[in-house]
Amino acid sequence: MTTYAQFRKEQQSFLSSDGTIKYIDRGQGEVLVLLHGVPTSGWLYRKMIEQLSQNYRVIVPDMLGFGSSDSPKGYNIYAPNEQAKRLIELMNSLQINNWNHVFHDAGGLWTWELLKLEPHRINNLIILNTIIYEEGFKPPIRFKKGFLAKCIMALYNNGITTKAMLKGLFNAGLTNANIISKTDLEGYKKPLLEGKTKAMYHFFSNTCNNLPDYSKVFENLSMQKLLIWGKDDSFLVYEKMKDKVPMNLNIKAENIHIIEAKHFIPEEKSNQIVNLIHDFIKA
């Protein structure tokens, strides 16, 4: 079992225009980017990296404000369009022009913004329980911007509150929260204890209350898409958007897989997801 210390030791560093981004770069061949959401990091994909890197070159960033990456002052620096620009910077620095793109949760927002800027860069989209529409979007918390919300976010790095928050998150987001061991939990807990809460504040107090409309982006997506979704996700309820998503994103019926899981499907169903991705890309 990989420890979080080992995971961090493998991470490389890229100095973006706004701060250092840490990332995993493992394997050879066709490129797969694995993009996390909120409040996770590249650690979310640790079970998948080992398997996928046997057949692909796997790039797994911690976006700015998450995981091992920097958490600079300010809040607008964490807006979805800014995160997208930095991801493009990272891929340019690696001299990767095109890639297959896997994304989860708020990684959808950063992905839609990236597709506004450079849609030609992505060969295939692999969608895992992500933010698409206001329908079905039920985040665990929403805050109004201000002092109170900042104080609440600050509590998440005091240890006791951090543990309670993560316990509640995984109880709601996993069919069986006991699959998260102490070693697993360390990778989610440590960034919060280090004070990585500014990006979370922006998401829960800004983005969650003003979700952008990406309909125009969806109309121009010419690449193939694979959708894998936990059917019992209470944060992102597919049932509420099942009629819109296949039609508006132009996803073939055979590429839609609603699986027995909740929100954190890379934790619950890593093997199944890896197999579906491999079959999809090689088709």
pLDDT in tens, 102-111: 999 999 999 9
* Residue 178 CB burial class (10 angstroms; 0-12, 13-18, ≥19): exposed
Interacting residues of 125 by C-beta distance below 8 A, sequence separation 6+: 101, 103, 111, 221, 223, 224, 225, 226
Is residue 185 included in any domain, yes or no? no
Cβ atoms of residues 220 and 163 within 8 Å? no
152 domain-assigned: no
- Establish if 88 belongs to a structural domain: yes
Which of helix, strand or coil describes residue 3? coil
Number of domains, the chain: 1
Q: Identify the domain containing residue 255 by its residue range.
A: 4-138+212-282
Residue 103 inside a domain? The answer is yes
Whether the link from the prior residue into 266 is cis, omega within 30° of 0, is no
C-alpha pair distances (Å), 127 with each of 9, 33, 229: 28, 12, 8
Query: What CATH number is attached to the domain comprising 50?
Result: 3.40.50.1820
d(CA 187, CA 42) in angstroms, rounded, equals 9
Reading the chain (283 residues) residue by residue, the pLDDT tens digits are 889 999 999 999 999 999 999 999 999 999 999 999 999 999 999 999 999 999 999 999 999 999 999 999 999 999 999 999 999 999 999 999 999 999 999 999 999 999 999 999 999 999 999 999 999 999 887 778 877 777 777 777 777 788 888 999 999 999 999 999 999 999 999 999 999 999 998 998 888 888 999 999 999 899 999 999 999 999 999 999 999 999 999 999 999 999 999 999 999 999 999 999 999 999 7
CA–CA dist 111, 211 (Å, integer): 14
